A and B are shown apart, each in its own frame.
Chain A
Amino acid sequence: MTATQTLISARPRSRKTRPAPLRPVQPLGRRIARVVRRLPVWLLVTVLLIVVLYPQLWMILGSFKTQTEFFQNSTWALPETWTLENYVAALTRGNVAVNYRNSILVTFPSVFFIIIFGVAAGYVLEVMIWKGQRKMLLFILAGIMVPGQMILVPLFTVYFRAGLTNTLWPLILTYTAMGLPLTTFLMAAYFRSVPREIFEAATMDGSSPLRSFFVIGLPLMKNAMITIGLVQFFSVFNDLLIALTFTTRPDLATIQVGLLSLSDEYGSTQYGPLFAAISINIVVLLIVFVFLNKKIMAGLAAGSLKG
Chain B
Amino acid sequence: MNRVFGDRKTILILLLPPLAIYVLLKVVPVLWSLGLAFFQGNTLRGFEFVGFDNFTTFVTDGAALQSMWVTISFAVIMTVCQVTFGYLLALLYVFVLRKGSAFVRTAVFFPMVLPTVAVALLFRSFVAVGDNQGPVNDIINFFGGDSVEFMASTSGTMATAIVMTLWSSMGFYAVLLYTGLLDIPDEIIESARIDGASGLRLVRNIIVPLSAPILLSSIIFSLNSTLKVFDSLLALNKGGPGTSTSPLTLYMYRTAFEYAEYGYGSTIALVLTLLCLVFTLTVFRSSNKRVED
Contact at B235–A176, with CB atoms within 8 Å? no
Q: Which of A16, A41, A129, A176 has the most CB of B within 10 A?
A: A129
Interface code B84-119, partner A: CB below 8 Å = 1, 0 otherwise?
000001001010111100001111111111111110
Q: Is B217 an interface residue (CB 8 A)?
A: yes
Kindly report which residue of chain B lies nearest to residue A210, judged by CB atoms. Answer: B10
Number of contact residues on A: which range applies? 35 or more
B118-149 interface (Cβ within 8 A of A): 118, 121-126, 131-135, 138
A132 vs B69: C-alpha distance when bound (angstroms): 41
Q: Is B38 an interface residue (CB 8 A)?
A: no
Q: Is A200 an interface residue (CB 8 A)?
A: yes
**What are the residues of chain B within 8 A of A2 when measuring CB–CB?**
183
Q: How far is the CB of A212 from chain B (nearest CB, A)?
A: 9
Q: Is B266 an interface residue (CB 8 A)?
A: yes
A205-230 interface (Cβ within 8 A of B): 208-210, 213
Contact at A208–B10, with CB atoms within 8 Å? yes
Contact at B9–A153, with CB atoms within 8 Å? no
Q: How far is the CB of B92 from chain A (nearest CB, A)?
A: 7
B1-59 interface (Cβ within 8 A of A): 1-2, 4-7, 9-11, 13-15, 17-19, 21-22, 24-30, 32-33, 36, 43
**What are the residues of chain A within 8 A of B283 when measuring CB–CB?**
none
Q: Is A238 an interface residue (CB 8 A)?
A: yes
B153-208 interface (Cβ within 8 A of A): 167, 171-172, 175-176, 179-180, 182-183, 186
Q: Is A112 an interface residue (CB 8 A)?
A: no
Contact at B21–A176, with CB atoms within 8 Å? yes
**What are the residues of chain A within 8 A of B33 when measuring CB–CB?**
150-151, 153-154
Q: Is A121 an interface residue (CB 8 A)?
A: yes
Kindly report which residue of chain B lies nearest to residue A149, judged by CB atoms. Answer: B269
Contact at A75–B135, with CB atoms within 8 Å? yes
Interface code A273-307, partner B: CB below 8 Å = 1, 0 otherwise?
01100100110011011000100110011001101
Q: Is B282 an interface residue (CB 8 A)?
A: no
Name the contact of A130 in the complex, choosing from B6, B21, B118, B227 (C-beta under 8 A): B6
A120 vs B213: C-alpha distance when bound (angstroms): 31
B217-256 interface (Cβ within 8 A of A): 217-218, 221, 224, 227-228, 230-231, 234-235, 249, 252-253, 256
Contact at B277–A286, with CB atoms within 8 Å? no
**What are the residues of chain A within 8 A of B106 when measuring CB–CB?**
293, 297
**What are the residues of chain B within 8 A of A76 when measuring CB–CB?**
135, 138
Contact at A256–B231, with CB atoms within 8 Å? yes
Q: Is A70 an interface residue (CB 8 A)?
A: yes
Contact at A143–B26, with CB atoms within 8 Å? yes
One of A25-33, A83-91, A178-186 contacting the partner: A178-186
A132-166 interface (Cβ within 8 A of B): 136, 140, 143, 145-158, 160
Name the contact of B122 in the complex, choosing from A52, A59, A146, A180 (C-beta under 8 A): A59
Contact at B180–A177, with CB atoms within 8 Å? no
Contact at B167–A51, with CB atoms within 8 Å? yes
Total inter-chain residue pairs, C-beta < 8 Å:
283
Contact at B138–A263, with CB atoms within 8 Å? no
Given contacts A149-B272, A200-B1, contact A256 B117 (CB under 8 A): yes
Contact at A174–B7, with CB atoms within 8 Å? no
Name the contact of A210 in the complex, choosing from B7, B172, B268 (C-beta under 8 A): B7
Given contacts A3-B180, A15-B94, A48-B104, contact A289 B32 (CB under 8 A): no
**For the complex of A and B, 6 pairs with smallest distance between CB atoms:** A177-B25, A117-B18, A151-B29, A154-B29, A154-B32, A149-B269
15 contacts between A and B (CB under 8 A): A3-B213, A14-B99, A45-B92, A48-B104, A49-B108, A52-B171, A149-B272, A154-B28, A154-B29, A177-B24, A210-B7, A255-B115, A278-B121, A293-B106, A301-B175
User: Which residues of A are in contact with B by a Cβ distance under 8 Å?
Assistant: 2-3, 6-7, 13-18, 41, 44-45, 48-49, 51-56, 58-59, 62, 70-71, 74-76, 113, 117-118, 120-121, 123-125, 127-130, 136, 140, 143, 145-158, 160, 173-174, 176-178, 180-181, 184, 199-200, 203, 208-210, 213, 234, 237-238, 240-241, 244-245, 255-256, 259-260, 263, 267, 271, 274-275, 278, 281-282, 285-286, 288-289, 293, 296-297, 300-301, 304-305, 307
User: Which residues of B are in contact with A by a Cβ distance under 8 Å?
Assistant: 1-2, 4-7, 9-11, 13-15, 17-19, 21-22, 24-30, 32-33, 36, 43, 89, 92, 94, 96-99, 104-118, 121-126, 131-135, 138, 167, 171-172, 175-176, 179-180, 182-183, 186, 213-214, 217-218, 221, 224, 227-228, 230-231, 234-235, 249, 252-253, 256-257, 262, 265-266, 268-270, 272-273, 276-277, 280
